[in-house]
Amino acid sequence: MPRLKRVQIRSPEELRLYRRAIVTAQGFTLVELLIVITVLGVLAAIVVFALGGITAKSAVATCSADATTVDTAVQAYDAETGGTPPVTPQILTSTTNPYLQSFPTSPYFAITLDLGNVMIAAPIGATPVKYGTPNTCVGAGDTSSTTTSTSTSTTTSTTTTIPPSNRVSAMGAYTRSGKKGTEVVTVSNPNAITALTITIEVNPSAGETITYGSERFSFTKKDFADAESTSGGDLTYTYTLDTGDTIAANSGGTTTAVFTSNLTTHASSGDTWSVSSVSSGVSATIKGAF
């Protein structure tokens, strides 16, 4: 055990200095520690806020640049083909004659094509707005979720933001045998679908008359209400998933519309399809042409 050193204090002034030395050797007081912690917390909040602003500005700038790139590619396609058939992401990124190396995707915004128009949803899940509309990309940095209450006070549903790679996708295909045409829409769904409506519209060309043939779907063990209607010579097929039914993740299928034309040729590029769905709480509508 170390020996204690005796300290001689000869005056009140020496006693005061000795006490101050002991207090200093003991480190920070509680009040001083609280002040330091508070200052560090304020500095951390400033840094986080600044980084969040940088991320949001970067997302907005990327959205604007990607939308401009896609619009330029669409204009090049329209100039070369006259816009027929209506441009799609698959056409723009075709391996045979690509206008883009890849179609842009982002967790902060979604760029889609609607009958030749570049549409922007910023953030993802927002209503798509046509490219060129002022401030279309301003919301690209907002990735927060929104909550919407239903008509009952006890039930709420949450809309979440998910990247495009996890959303419902679809593509259309057209085949013909004699005067009979077949148009198929294939739906893929990485996540479960709780609501789904698929529409196929067949538009006759000048002098052409089309008549209903049949309609069917390949979604396994799912119930659809299907209907057909005509308006001004156009023939519309509609498939709606029954309320309360759910399509499990990765179990998509096809809907098929069969029709007959009085002509031996049919301009399928004038026919359109749309898929409206609710998946992972996100409502979305995608469109295309055959």
Q: 266 near 213, Cβ under 8 Å?
A: no
Question: Average pLDDT in the 119-142 region?
Answer: 83
- The tokens describing 18, both together, are 């000795």
- For residue 104, whether the previous peptide bond is cis, meaning omega lies within 30 degrees of 0, is no
Burial 113-123 (b: 16+ CB within 10 A, else e): bbebbbbbbbb
Q: 147 near 158, Cβ under 8 Å?
A: yes
Q: Is 100 left (phi over 0), alpha (psi -120 to 50) or beta?
A: beta
- Give percent above pLDDT 70 in the chain: 77
Domain 167-289 classified CATH 2.160.10.10?
Answer: no
Residues 196-220: tens digit of each pLDDT: 999 999 999 888 999 999 998 888 7
- Enumerate residues 6+ apart whose C-beta is below 8 A from 235: 201, 202, 204, 210, 211, 212, 228, 229, 259
Domain boundaries, the chain: 14-166, 167-289
Question: Average pLDDT in the 7-17 region?
Answer: 67
Q: Could you give the CA distance from residue 131 to residue 167 in angstroms, rounded to a whole number?
A: 21
Q: Which of 143, 131, 148, 177 is nearest to 55 (CA)?
A: 143
Question: Average pLDDT in the 68-94 region?
Answer: 87
**Which amino acid would we find at residue 31?**
V
Question: Which pLDDT score is estimated for 161?
Answer: 44
Residues 46-73: tens digit of each pLDDT: 655 555 556 678 888 888 888 888 898 8
- Enumerate residues 6+ apart whose C-beta is below 8 A from 10: none
Over 60: is that where the pLDDT of 185 sits? yes
Its pTM stands at: 0.47
- 200/79: higher pLDDT: 200
Question: Average pLDDT in the 237-246 region?
Answer: 92
Provide the residue count of the chain.
290
Q: Predicted confidence band at 260 (pLDDT cuts at 50, 70, 90)?
A: very high
**Residue appearing with tokens 């409206």:** 276
Q: Could you give the CA distance from residue 213 to residue 224 in angstroms, rounded to a whole number?
A: 18
Q: Which of 113, 145, 143 is nearest to 128 (CA)?
A: 113
